[in-house]
Chain A
Amino acid sequence: MNTSEIIIIGTAVMLTLGILVVVLVIFQQKEVIQHKLVLRDKDLILQQERLVAILQGQELERKRIAEDLHDEVGAQLSVLKLNLNQLQPLLKTGHNEQEQLKETKDFTDTIIQQLRFISQSLHPQALENLGLSQALDSFCNLMNKNKTVLVDYKDDGNQYPVEKEKALNIYRIVQELINNILKHAQATHVQITYNSSPSVLNITVEDNGNGQLLQSLDISRKKTGSLGLKNIESRLNIIGGTIRYLPGSTGGTIAEIRVENYQTA
Chain B
Amino acid sequence: MANNIKVAIADDHKIFRSGVINTLTPYENISVIFEADDGVHLLQLMETQQPDVILMDLKMPNMDGIEATKRVREKYTHVKVIVLTMYEDDNFIVHLIENGANAYLLKNAEPGEIYEAICTSHEKGFYFNENVNLALLKKVMVKNKQHFKPTFKNEIQFTDREMEVLKLICNECTTQEISEKIFLSPRTVEGLRQKLLEKTGAKNIVGLVIYAFRNGFME
Question: If A109-B108, A141-B90 touch, does A75 touch B16 (CB 8 Å cutoff)?
Answer: yes
CB–CB A71/B13 < 8 A: yes
Q: How large is the interface on B (under 10, 10 to 19, 20 to 34, 35 or more residues)?
A: 20 to 34
Partner of A75, one of B13, B87, B90, B91: B13
Query: Which residues of the partner chain A approach B88 to less than 8 Å between Cβ atoms?
Result: 116
Once the chains are docked, how many angstroms separate the CA of A72 from the CA of B87?
13
Residues of B within 8 A of A86 (CB): 22-23
| Residues of chain A within 8 A of B64, CB atoms compared | 129
Q: Cβ of B202 < 8 Å from any Cβ of A? A: no
Residues of B within 8 A of A130 (CB): 91-92, 95
Give complex CA distance A70, B58 in Å.
12
Which chain B residue lies CB-closest to A117? B88
The A200-246 residues at the B interface (CB cut-off 8 A) are none
Collect the chain B residues with CB atoms within 8 Å of residue A82's CB. Answer: 19-20, 22-23, 111
Residues in A whose Cβ lies below 8 Å from that of B164: none
Closest-by-CB residue of A relative to B139 is: A137
In this assembly, does A78 line the interface, its C-beta being within 8 Å of a C-beta of chain B? yes
What total of chain A residues lie within 8 Å of the partner, measured CB to CB?
32
Cα–Cα distance between A72 and B13 once the two chains are bound (Å): 8
In the bound assembly, the distance between CA atoms of A79 and B107 in angstroms comes to 9
Closest to B57 in A: A75
Q: How far is the CB of B119 from chain A (nearest CB, A)?
A: 18
Closest chain B CB from A103 CB (angstroms): 15
Query: Is A134 part of the binding interface, using a Cβ–Cβ cutoff of 8 Å?
Result: yes
* Minimum C-beta distance from B180 to chain A (A): 35
- Pick from A71, A108, A137, A141: contact of B108, CB below 8 A: A108
Docked-complex contact A76 and B95, CB < 8 angstroms:
no
Contact of A138 among B13, B91, B111 (CB under 8 A): B91
Q: Does B47 contact A (CB under 8 A)?
A: no
Q: Which residues of B contact A (CB under 8 A)?
A: 12-13, 15-16, 18-20, 22-23, 59, 64, 66, 86-92, 95, 107-108, 110-111, 146-147
What 8 A-B pairs are tightest by C-beta distance, nearest first? A78-B107, A79-B19, A82-B19, A75-B13, A134-B91, A74-B86, A75-B16, A112-B108
28 residue pairs bridging A and B, Cβ less than 8 Å apart: A70-B59, A70-B86, A71-B86, A74-B86, A78-B16, A78-B19, A78-B108, A79-B15, A79-B16, A82-B20, A83-B22, A85-B23, A109-B108, A112-B107, A112-B108, A116-B88, A120-B89, A125-B89, A129-B64, A129-B95, A135-B91, A137-B90, A137-B91, A138-B89, A138-B91, A141-B90, A154-B146, A156-B146
